[in-house]
Amino acid sequence: MSQPYKAEEVRKALKEMHPFKSLAPGRNESDIFPKIRHIVGNDVTTFVLNFLNQHDMSPNSNFTHIVPPLVHISRFNRNSLEGPVLSSRELVSAQVWNDDYKKKKKSGYGLGQCRSPTCHSIFLWQSKNLFDSSPCKDSVTYNSMISGYARSDGYESEAIDLFIQMQFDNDSARIDEFKLTTMLNLVAKIRVLHYGRQVHSFMVKSGNDLSVFALSSLIDMYSKCGSFSDACGVVNGSVGEGVVDLVVKNALIAACCREGELEMARKIFLDNPEFNDNVSWNTMISGYVQNGCEVEAVELFKRMAEEGFRWNEHTFASLLTACSALKSLNLGKEVHGRVLKEGMCLNPFISSGIVDIYCKCGNMRYAESVHKTFGTNNIYAITSMIVGYLAKGDMPEARRLFDSLAEKEFRRVDRHYFWLRKIAAICICSFREYVVSDDTTVPDTVILVSLLGACAIRASVDPGKQIHAYILRTGIKTDEKAVSALIDMYSKCGFILYAQRMFRTVSIRDTIMYNVMIAGCAHHGYEYEAIHHFEEMIAHGLKPDSVTFIALLSACRHCGLVEVGENYFFLMTKDYAIQPEIDHYACMVDLYGRSNQLEKAVAFMEKMPFEPDSIILSAFLNSCRANRNLELARMAEKKLVEIEGENGNGARYFQLASVYASGGKWDDMGRVMRTMRGMDVKKLAGCSWVQVGNGVHVFTSGDRSHLEAEDVYFVLGCLIDELYDKAIMDENLLTMM
């Protein structure tokens, strides 16, 4: 027996949509009903989605009762209100899995991404009502309901309960292959290995473990639950040989990539390549990205098109992740252009990926622009932007974006939202407040690393020390990343001796830890120690990366070690195959400039594979000023105007004016000053600060406004005298030698 659900009732339900009145004051249902009917004849699904997107769909909402008829129409009754009589089972199916949902999911525009977060639960809530009221439930009814629960975040235990309960309640609803693969899908999602083993045992006992659906689901479940050997065991260890089903093959490739077994993944991928589809290529590209092989991912991306496969949203999403990791602004812009051409910018994965690239490259202006154009409701894009502003130390902007979240409908239980609350601790609260206000959750080391990073940016040693003490007191196990963050924090807050002491006490060091230590030594004028640490890391068999060389070259430029710097630059490309980035080139130009070798700096800039950016030219301008070389300064000015435009960065014009002033070229200086006129040019004064007790004391050049300025300048005078005496002594010593 099926419960009928007639079209007439749908019409009645629609006519009773009294809450519509509250949407537009003055309208009544007679205005609304023709509109609905009109839409039903065209694209009702869009209407339903927009409706769901625009309104509160919590279970207590006034609108919830109209969801079933709307979904009903969208699924079964496109062209008229007169339609077939539907059973409750069909309605359950319609609401949990309507055709449009599947189509949209396949094209990358899943409902989960385009409607408000509360809506999915309302589909389920309505489905459950229908399911409970249905007098006749068969196996398919149960499958639909279990599948609906399994795919909805937060309803996983309901799926398990229903799966168990069904075996006691209903003789006609037997456990079949559909239910078992659905349960495997659920286990893969919640990642509980022993549940997976139970379902697998059940499949073997009931003879449901041999179909290609079972195989792919089992491989996926074991892989996602962290048991790669079990995933391989599903195909009897014959990985890559005789895999007949493409989905099974792709599941295996994905499992290998997840495990970091890229060579094995590549072997399976290249075995019978004629069977590969877009998913195979996308899985392989994504595998390279997941394992830090971004360059290979970009190469494969190119080959994919060459071999006649079409890029889709998944392909671009992986490629964007690769560009972010490479921090390549040029590549990012190229991909951005391609994405615009392909019309994929509405996909939330894609738009947030583009925002992320610009944030990682530090170009917040572009990031803001993309973010505003392609939707401001993407929590990933907002997270990237907050982190981008934090990395630049721009706390007010980070705070502004965080506050904007309060107006949006992100789910409070969403783990992304949960993470953002941690950022709030960085932006807004002190660590002490964070610990007190959030004492139900012990922060993990990753959170602590973020907090320490913020302390380092703000050069706030006190909260940094609090966090260090908290780690020691609570006995939280610190990994290499946490120790590196502590070393970095102490170093950037000016406490290089603490940083060095901490570094010495650690027995296991990785490349990142050496990088922060080398950079710390370089910044504090311990150039030879920086070089010593580099040699030590090589001796320990660690592989330096591009950051290592930025830190090393930075050390060289601070003490004018031109030849040593040149050697490292050469070593980096030849021995370690590291492609120099713009930061490496900037270090070299600065190194030549500071050593008064302007011709070498110019020759080096001319050989660069890309145009010098404003940072390089700015460093070069400083050298021109020190050397009073006005001809080269004019050349740099021309380039700067090309890069930044006539209305470029005001600080650069100040810099340029001071170059001309230092050479007595008052006409040129006047010209630059006139260019600045009418522009909103502000120069942020450089300043130093020192924390004494609970107070921070800030000093700018020539500033005598401090209450104790007289004493401060007296001590400063003594220090200058002492340095002067030392310089004289050094000079005498050199003469004697």
Chain positions 196 to 235 lying near DNA, rule: CB under 7 A, are 211-213, 215-217, 220
Closest approach of DNA to the CB of residue 391, in Å: 8
The Cβ of residue 348 has, within 10 Å, a number of other Cβ atoms equal to 22
Kindly write out the interface string for residues 135-154 of this chain, putting x where it contacts DNA by CB under 7 A and - elsewhere. Answer: ---xxx--xx--x-------
At 420, list the tokens.
Answer: 């953002």
Stretch that binds DNA, among 26-34, 86-94, 155-163, 659-667 (CB under 7 A): 86-94
Q: What residues between 248 and 267 interact with DNA by CB under 7 A?
A: 248-251, 254
At 412, list the tokens.
Answer: 């409070």
Q: What residues between 449 and 508 interact with DNA by CB under 7 A?
A: 449-450, 453
Q: Which amino acid is at 258?
A: R
Kindly write out the interface string for residues 429-448 of this chain, putting x where it contacts DNA by CB under 7 A and - elsewhere. Answer: ---------------x-xx-
Which residue lies nearer to DNA by CB, 101 or 549?
Answer: 101
Residues 6+ positions from 571 with CB-CB distance below 8 Å:
none
Closest approach of DNA to the CB of residue 245, in Å: 4
Helical spans, DSSP H, in 459-510: 461-474, 480-492, 496-505
CB 480 within 8 A of CB 446: no
Q: Does 286 bind DNA (CB under 7 A)?
A: yes
**Among all chains, which residue has been given the structure tokens 């199916």?**
93
Report how far residue 492's alpha carbon sits from residue 501's, in angstroms, rounded to the nearest whole number: 15
Number of residues that bind DNA (CB under 7 A): 76
Quick one: which of 137, 422, 465, 468 contacts DNA (CB under 7 A)?
Answer: 422
Which residue lies nearer to DNA by CB, 420 or 619?
Answer: 420
Closest approach of DNA to the CB of residue 353, in Å: 6
Closest approach of DNA to the CB of residue 433, in Å: 18
Q: What residues between 11 and 40 interact with DNA by CB under 7 A?
A: none
Quick one: which of 380, 410, 654, 699 contacts DNA (CB under 7 A)?
Answer: 380
Kindly write out the interface string for residues 356-375 of this chain, putting x where it contacts DNA by CB under 7 A and - elsewhere. Answer: x---x---------------
Which residue lies nearer to DNA by CB, 29 or 545?
Answer: 545
State the angle between helix axes of 212-224 and 177-190 in degrees (0 to 180), rounded to the nearest 10. Answer: 20
CB 389 within 8 A of CB 383: no
Which residue lies nearer to DNA by CB, 108 or 464?
Answer: 108
Q: Mark residue 423 as left, alpha or beta (left: phi above 0; alpha: psi -120 to 50; beta: remaining).
A: alpha
Closest approach of DNA to the CB of residue 415, in Å: 5
Nearest to 68 by CA among 43, 82, 83, 48: 48
Which residue lies nearer to DNA by CB, 7 or 257?
Answer: 257
Which residue lies nearer to DNA by CB, 209 or 613?
Answer: 209
Closest approach of DNA to the CB of residue 481, in Å: 10
Report how far residue 320's alpha carbon sits from residue 361's, in angstroms, rounded to the nearest whole number: 13
CA distances to 232, 493, 559, 614, 623 from 565, rounded to whole Å, are 49, 26, 10, 22, 17
The phi and psi torsions of 553 (rounded to 5 degrees) equal -65, -35
Beta strands in 66-145 (DSSP E): none
Quick one: which of 178, 195, 654, 699 contacts DNA (CB under 7 A)?
Answer: 178
The Cα angle at residue 437 between residues 434 and 442, in degrees rounded to 5:
65
Quick one: which of 56, 158, 245, 545 contacts DNA (CB under 7 A)?
Answer: 245
Closest approach of DNA to the CB of residue 436, in Å: 19
Quick one: which of 45, 116, 181, 595 contacts DNA (CB under 7 A)?
Answer: 181
Residues 6+ positions from 708 with CB-CB distance below 8 Å:
none
Q: Does 648 bind DNA (CB under 7 A)?
A: no
Q: Does 593 bind DNA (CB under 7 A)?
A: no
Burial class (CB in 10 A: 0-12, 13-18, 19+), 725: exposed
Closest approach of DNA to the CB of residue 459, in Å: 18
Report how far residue 58's alpha carbon sits from residue 724's, in angstroms, rounded to the nearest whole number: 74
Nearest to 141 by CA among 166, 168, 116: 166
Q: Does 278 bind DNA (CB under 7 A)?
A: yes
Q: Does 240 bind DNA (CB under 7 A)?
A: no
CB 455 within 8 A of CB 485: no
The Cβ of residue 703 has, within 10 Å, a number of other Cβ atoms equal to 13
Q: Does 409 bind DNA (CB under 7 A)?
A: no
Closest approach of DNA to the CB of residue 300, in Å: 13
Q: What residues between 330 and 349 interact with DNA by CB under 7 A?
A: 347-349
CA distances to 23, 526, 556, 618 from 532, rounded to whole Å, are 71, 10, 13, 30
Q: Does 188 bind DNA (CB under 7 A)?
A: yes
Quick one: which of 95, 383, 478, 548 contacts DNA (CB under 7 A)?
Answer: 383
Q: Does 3 bind DNA (CB under 7 A)?
A: no
Which residue lies nearer to DNA by CB, 360 or 639?
Answer: 360
At 618, list the tokens.
Answer: 């700015």
Quick one: which of 75, 200, 266, 314 contacts DNA (CB under 7 A)?
Answer: 314
Distance of CA 225 to the CA centre of its chain: 23
Q: What residues between 97 and 116 interact with DNA by CB under 7 A?
A: 97, 106, 108, 110, 113
Q: Does 313 bind DNA (CB under 7 A)?
A: yes
Helix, strand or coil, per DSSP, at residue 168? helix
